[in-house]
Amino acid sequence: MALQFTTSYLEDSIHLLRYYKKLAERAISQATGPQMYQLLDEDANSIAIVMQHMSGNMKSRWTNFLSEDGEKPWRNRDSEFEQPPATRVALMQLWDEGWDCMFQALESLTDADLDRSVPIRGEAHSVMQAINRQVAHYSYHCGQIVLLAKHFQHTQWTSLTVPKGKSAEFNAKVLAREASQR
């Protein structure tokens, strides 16, 4: 992730969330159709279930974010852990709907909104606390998606960041690029 220097909490949060979305999508693209639905054990979640849950959470938390509780009466959280859409296309559409809802809400905020209070499950959060809570939640689940895709792909996995054992080579490239930009 190329760091974009900013002193704006909102800009940084949006940038970080876009990074985690892209990271998860790069992992998802490496998983085969059957791997999207594969469970490690009977109590585990598949990539598809994690994606479905994240979408449901995003829609609930970010719809009317400043004026309604983040846990909507229309949300059925338990169903998010059952029967995800049967196709990758339908699953990706659901995924994008959740992220779009979140990004629209975040991009409509201003720095003045950060001190406002919003309820999540009846508990007051500042807007900043609510954003922090969701950044942590989504990065946690994106990590699960990456871990599952990497596990299933095993030797066919293409690293999403600095490949294992390649740190020195990567750092040398970064230093060379910085030197050429001076």
Q: What CATH number did the domain enclosing 125 receive?
A: 1.20.120.450
3 found inside a domain: no
Is residue 69 domain-resident?
yes
Q: Please report which confidence band the pLDDT of residue 146 belongs to, taking 50, 70 and 90 as the band edges.
A: very high
pLDDT at 123: 94
Residue 26 belongs to some domain of the structure? yes
Output the pLDDT for position 179.
76
B/e letters for 1-25, b = 16+ CB within 10 Å, e = fewer, are: eeeeeeeeebeebbeebeebbebbb
pLDDT at 163 over 80: no
* Residue 104 located in a structural domain: yes
* Per-residue pLDDT tens over the stretch 17-38: 999 999 999 999 999 999 999 9
Inform me whether the pLDDT recorded for 55 exceeds 70. Answer: yes
Report if residue 114 sits inside a domain. Answer: yes
Q: What is the pLDDT of residues 76-111, one digit of tens each?
A: 999 999 999 999 999 999 999 999 999 999 999 999
What is the pLDDT confidence band of residue 4, given thresholds at 50, 70 and 90? confident
Q: Is residue 140 part of a domain?
A: yes
Overall domain count for the chain: 1
What contacts 24+ positions apart, CB below 8 Å, involve 143-148? 144/45, 144/50, 145/24, 145/27, 145/28, 145/47, 145/50, 145/51, 146/23, 146/24, 146/27, 148/27, 148/31, 148/35, 148/38, 148/40, 148/46, 148/47, 148/50
Q: How confident is the model at residue 3 (pLDDT cuts 50, 70, 90)?
A: low
Residue range(s) defining the domain that contains residue 93: 9-180
Q: Is residue 149 part of a domain?
A: yes
Does residue 101 fall inside a structural domain?
Answer: yes
DSSP 41: S
Instruction: Say yes or no to pLDDT of 1 above 60.
Output: no
Q: What is the mean pLDDT of the chain?
A: 93
Higher pLDDT, 6 or 158: 158
